[in-house]
Amino acid sequence: MDGLMKGKRGLVMGVANDHSIAWGIARKLSEHGAELAFTYQGEAFGRRVRPLADKLGSSLVVPCDVEDSASVAATFETLGEAWGGLDFVVHAIGFSDKNELKGLYADTSRDNFVRTMVISCYSFTEVARHAAALMKGSGSMITLTYAGSVRVMPNYNVMGVAKAGLEASVRYLANDYGPRGIRVNGISAGPVRTLAGAGISDARHMFSYQQRNSPLRRTVTIDEVGGSALYLLSDLSSGVTGEIHYVDSGYHIVSMPALDELKR
Ligand code: NAD
């Protein structure tokens, strides 16, 4: 099992700190032998990401702001020069103005709608295009999504709409790149306490509600998301593409609160 990712090189985008989902994924991939590169958004995050990358023996740490196409292109140019190829990509990036992650979805502004879509949805398509150009023979890509894409979650608002677009992108990209042996999948994670998660109003109530009402009666850890990412990025899942894989303690299968909750 230890060598599942041995000989594979990949890019992890979206580590902000050691609570980030991308960090849980990176740790798991590294444990299984992957060689990793990281991106960070701006120098303040760079100061946090470099020591983390260092812990996993990675010195390829490059700035990338996905709002800027030139920055995305430069990232993959750097990777191409350093490695000459690429086996996998982890896209764990999302953003929306927190002032609009509360209240009515109907009040979403045009500016924030566009910005949220560019960063949280389109960026995966742009990243996939650059990554695929470096993948020779086969490859695997994943992005991170949330069940607010398919069902209404309080305050998730425009992020839910962006995640719906992101999940559709997973299917279209899987179909585009499948003939070249490149797989594209999404992980729909349950709520995790991260910087991005904290931007959603009343997030702590959602968190404890899912702890009480998911089949496993708990939320998930970044390590558990990492385990599923390892499966999707390794050859274990060689027949799987275009899939949205839920890592949410089973919360998405229930249609009503748990009995204990109903009787409260
Ligand atoms: P996080 O705050 O640790 O990570 C979000 C990352 O997005 C940060 O590293 C940030 O720098 C990056 N980012 C934002 N705008 C960017 C830009 N313009 N250019 C480059 N990078 C940018 O939070 P997280 O919860 O680990 O989020 C990772 C992914 O997981 C996101 O897509 C998020 O929507 C998704 N997700 C989170 C949860 C949760 O409950 N935390 C649940 C399901 C899915």
C-alpha of residue 77 to centroid of ligand 1, in Å:
23
Cβ contact 212:260 at 8 Å: yes
Our answer on whether the CB atom of 229 is closer than 6 Å to any ligand 1 atom is no
d(CA 259, ligand 1 centre) in Å: 33
- Regarding the beta carbon of 146 and ligand 1, being less than 6 Å apart is answered yes
Share of the chain above pLDDT 90, in %: 94
* pLDDT above 70 coverage of the chain, percent: 99
* Rounded average pLDDT over 239-254: 98
Ligand 1 centroid vs 95 CA: distance in angstroms?
7
Residue nearest to atom 28 of ligand 1 (CA): 92
pLDDT interval class at 22 (50, 70, 90): very high
Query: Is the pLDDT score of 1 beyond 60?
Result: no
Q: From the alpha carbon of 15, which atom of ligand 1 is closest? A: 9
Task: Decide: 143 in ligand 1 pocket, CB within 6 A.
Answer: no
Mutate to test the pocket of ligand 1, among 21, 89, 146, 151 (most ligand atoms within 8 A of CB): 21
Question: Which residues are CB-neighbours of 253 under 8 A, at least 6 positions away?
Answer: 215
Query: 9-247, which class in CATH?
Result: alpha beta
Report the alpha-carbon distance of residue 150 to residue 148 in Å, rounded: 6
Residues carrying an active site annotation: 146, 156
18 CB within 6 A, ligand 1: no
pLDDT of residue 2: 66
State the distance from the centre of ligand 1 to the C-alpha of 144, rounded, in angstroms.
8
Q: What is the pLDDT of residues 48-98, one digit of tens each?
A: 999 999 999 999 999 999 999 999 999 999 999 999 999 999 999 999 999
163: amino acid identity, one letter: K
Q: Is 246 in the pocket of ligand 1 (CB under 6 A)?
A: no
Which has more confidence, 242 or 59? 242
pLDDT at position 31: 98
Q: Note the pLDDT tens digit of each residue in 107-126.
A: 999 999 999 999 999 999 99
Residue 147 token pair: 């069940």
Q: Which ligand 1 atom minimizes the distance to the CA of 120?
A: 32
Provide DSSP, 94-116: ----GGGSSS-GGG--HHHHHHH
The tens digit of pLDDT for each residue in 156-183 reads 999 999 999 999 999 999 999 999 999 9
**Closest ligand 1 atom to Cα of 93:** 7
- The response to whether residue 186 sits with its C-beta less than 6 Å from ligand 1 reads no
Q: For 193-213, what is each residue's pLDDT tens digit?
A: 999 998 898 889 999 999 999
- Whether ligand 1 lies within 6 angstroms of the CB of 34 is answered as no
Q: What is the pLDDT of residue 264?
A: 81
Domain spans in the chain, listed from the N-terminal domain onward: 9-247
- Contact 95 CB / ligand 1 (< 6 Å): yes
**How many angstroms separate the alpha carbon of residue 94 from the centre of ligand 1?**
4
Ligand 1 geometric centre to CA of 215 (Å):
26
Mean pLDDT, the chain, integer? 97
